[in-house]
A = this chain, B = another copy of it.
Amino acid sequence: MRLDAAELAKKLDVEKVSGLLDIPEHRITGALKRKTIQYVRAKLELFRFDKPISSVEGGTSVFIKPFDIVRGFPKISRTLMLYPALSKHFSPLGKVAVEEKLNGYNVRVALIGDELVALTRGGFICPYTTEKANDLINRQFFLDHPELVLCGEMVGPDSPYVPKSFYGIESLEFFAFDIREKISGKPMPVMKRRALLEEYGIKSVRLFGEFDVDKAHIAITGIIKEFGDTLREGVVIKDLQMILPSVKYTSSLSNCADLRYAFEFYNDFGRDFFFGRVCREAFQSVEWDEDEAQMKKRCQQLGESILLPMVRTIKKKKAGERIAENVQIRVKSLDTVKEFEEYLRLVGVDAVFEEPQKIGDEYLVRIKRINQSTNDKTESILSGQLWS
């Protein structure tokens, strides 16, 4: 049974949400009609903001029973060149903290009533991540601070979204990078946050240090260059008080790794994805004042990151294979597998689950995520369709 806009408005308590988030009531009812605010029927019913509304972030979740709100995680702007962007963005005489940007997936963990749930960037509850969060994160933190949400990165090979094995993580780990107030989204100052997390034994992302804003670009260039070929992603540069928005900066290798991944599934990605990453390479080359040999190497890497995965995909398809991404999850409860399968269907991901395999007290489940658009496009060109 589908609810109409009026029934949804009643369920949501528009007046209360309007007051708490400072959004005019008519914008909330309008958003319900246009489905910018979507009702998600799940074990915990919620409404999620598909896009920003007024000054409230997309991915914001409003829970019904018990009533609660978790603000979406704000988009972090990127700088293509460190100098003079940092001095311009932060207070030029102040200090910034530089933390590692990990290559995993962004989650927010919060206690809703007495359930600890993990929300995806889009504001859905992910059943798999929720099981993991319950396992990995000290619940006492939330019992002591029920008004806070813990924001962090889930990283490791047992990730259904961004499986990475180069961090030396065995299964999946959570690294916090932010603590915010659930309803206002107000973040905690960097050092206070790190100290509080340490008290509860919750891991934080690595802190590279505090730097004077006017010298930070030198320190950060050094940090990025020291990453070498370890595939580490980059850094997030933060106002110590967390009053000004944070800024991210990524390494060329992580850029190219993104491109390699995206071009393997070339038709399932937005075209802006490619373009932005290419631009980062050009600006970094200029900022680093590269000589001819260095540029030549960067060009080779860029070209290979684009062409080789795409050629592999075409050859695979030509050989009759299906273009898919192999991921895996590791769970304690088989119920989580079922719930996760339903969740992927809900968010429109086409996936094939293999039989769970018992390993110790856990189950490993291999999943093939099907990249339908790349399958179809490649198939059609190989069979003689014209490009357009």
Contacts and interface: CB of A to CB of B under 8 A. Distances in A.
A243 interface: no
Interface in A54-88: 77-81, 83-88
A307 interface: yes
A311 B296 CA distance: 12
Contacts of A86: 384
A382 interface: yes
Interface string A360-388: 00000000000000000000011111111
Interface in A84-103: 84-89
Contact of A387 (B78, B84, B274, B308): B78
A300 B308 CA distance: 11
B88 A384 contact: yes
Given A272-B271, A314-B283, A386 B308 contact: no
A239 to B, nearest CB: 14
Number of copies: 2
A279 B271 CA distance: 12
A174 B85 CA distance: 50
A44 interface: no
Contact of A303 (B79, B276, B283, B301): B301
A174 to B, nearest CB: 28
Interface residues on A, range: 35 or more
B78 A386 contact: yes
Interface string A261-294: 0010010000110111011111101100000000
A310 interface: yes
A304 interface: yes
A210 to B, nearest CB: 21
B77 A279 contact: no
A287 to B, nearest CB: 9
A84 B383 contact: yes
B311 A279 contact: no
A274 B269 CA distance: 14
A283 B80 CA distance: 31
A67 B372 CA distance: 51
Contact of A266 (B266, B279, B308): B279
Contact of A271 (B83, B275, B315, B386): B275
A295 interface: yes
A283 to B, nearest CB: 6
A301 B303 CA distance: 7
Nearest to A382: B81
B386 A282 contact: no
A176 interface: no
Nearest to A82: B384
Given A78-B388, A266-B282, A302-B302, 20 more contacts: A81-B381, A88-B384, A263-B282, A271-B272, A271-B275, A276-B388, A278-B306, A278-B310, A280-B387, A282-B311, A283-B314, A286-B311, A286-B318, A295-B311, A298-B307, A299-B307, A299-B308, A300-B300, A302-B307, A303-B306
24 contacts: A77-B387, A79-B387, A81-B382, A83-B384, A88-B383, A89-B384, A266-B282, A271-B271, A271-B274, A276-B387, A276-B388, A278-B307, A278-B310, A281-B307, A282-B314, A283-B314, A283-B381, A285-B311, A286-B315, A295-B311, A299-B307, A300-B300, A302-B303, A302-B307
